[in-house]
Structures are given as structure tokens and as C-alpha cells.
Structure 1
Amino acid sequence: MESLHVYSVLVVLFLTCGAVMATKENDQIIKENNYETKMGLPCVLEAFPSIFKTGSIFNKCCGELVVLGKVCHSALVKRTLENPLFKDLSPATIIAKSIQTWNNCLALIDSPFPSA
């Protein structure tokens, strides 16, 4: 239960924080395209751990992630990394996991036999 609460807090931060801390480029990309509201909370809760912790993202949420587009995905990840709460994370590792998650989602939704 505590884990769900921690993820909920992180997701809220992921979606809403960083307007002051974000680089102008990432913040502008996110705001101009209204990216923060285009992915449902259940899928954000699934995608966030697959990038910033350990976890998996599945077909439905991969579809939502891919619909956002790679530019949005990258901007949200980079903006989240700028938050002081994530200062102990290795940006190179998170970027690599972000790319891996993106590529896995592309492969999953393009697969003729999608998983649940």
C-alpha cells in the first residue's frame, strides 16, 4: 500500500512539477502540446516505474505512450530528471531505460501477437 502511495506521489510530481525547474525547451514542448493530460493515470502509473524504477509496461499503456510521441516522451523524462527529487538517479541510466521502454512499446504494439 505504501508503494502505491509513493508511486502516486511520484506520478503527480511527474505530471505537474518542474515548470520552474524545467528547461525552457522541454517545458515549452510539453505545454504547447498539452502532453501532461494525454496519458491516463493508470498508464502513467505503469510507465513511470518502467523508466525510473523496475517494472513493465504492457500493450494498452504502450499504445498510449506511443500515441504521445517520442518527442513528448523524451521531454517528460528529461523534465522529471531535472527535479531535485531525482538528483540521485543517473541521467544516462534513466535515458537508456526510457529509450528501451519506448522501443519495447513500439515492438509490442507492432507485434502480430500483442500481450495482455
Structure 2
Amino acid sequence: MASLNVYSVLVVLFLTCGAVMATKENDQIIKDNNCETKMGLPCVVEAFMSIFNIGSISNKCCGELVVLRKFCHLALVKRTVENPLFKDLNPATIIAKSI
């Protein structure tokens, strides 16, 4: 079974939740480093839930996050926080949880 990538999850999220207002800097980092293709869907969901909700990261997904690298992870989190759906959340808190 083909694994969906981060991009697929973000597209679904943004299509169902509102327009994306990402900064060019984050988009450029994501594009230049192929950040959206480095994690499988189950780990994307697990990471998303642990950052924006309550949960933890399994060892398997922790390994995928390490492969993703910090700059990709931070750019993806920042781009997600810029979505109008998350306007009521404190970006500093979300970024701190993502670390």
C-alpha cells in the first residue's frame, strides 16, 4: 500500500478547513528540502495530534521526525499555525510543543 505523504495530509486539512496563508519563507524551505515527502501518513497524524492536541510520539514516528529534520518540521508547523483554523491558538505555545 502506498504511503501518503505530509503534503497529502496538509492538502486535505487546508481544503476542509480554509485557505492557507503561508509565508514565502516557510514555503521555500519546504519546497527546497522536499519536506512534505519525508513522513508517512500515520506518523504525520500522530505528530499533528501530539502538537495540536494531546498525545505522544511513538519510537517509529520519532525516527521519522528525525529524518524530517528540525528545519522542515518547524517550517511545516509554522505553515500550519498560519492557517485561519488555528487563529485562536497561541503560535508560541504550539511551536514550543512541537519542539
Identity, in percent, stands at 81
What's the C-alpha RMSD, in Å, of the aligned pairs?
A: 2.2
Give the deviation of 1:12 after TM superposition.
Answer: 2.4
SS of 1:54's equivalent in the other structure is coil
Residue aligning to 2:10: 13
Aligned length: 89
Distance 1:66 1:58 in 2: 12
Residue aligning to 1:84: 84
Distance 1:15 1:50 in 2: 19
Give the deviation of 1:13 after TM superposition.
Answer: 3.1
Calculate the TM-score normalised by the size of structure 1. Answer: 0.69
Closer, same or farther in 2 for the Cα pair 1:77/1:14, shift >3 Å? farther
Distance 1:14 1:97 in 2: 23
Closer, same or farther in 2 for the Cα pair 1:27/1:13, shift >3 Å? same
Deviations 1:24-83 (A, max 9, x none): 110000011111121000101111011111111010000000111000010000000000
Calculate the TM-score normalised by the size of structure 2. Answer: 0.80
Distance 1:27 1:85 in 2: 18
Distance 2:55 2:78 in 1: 19
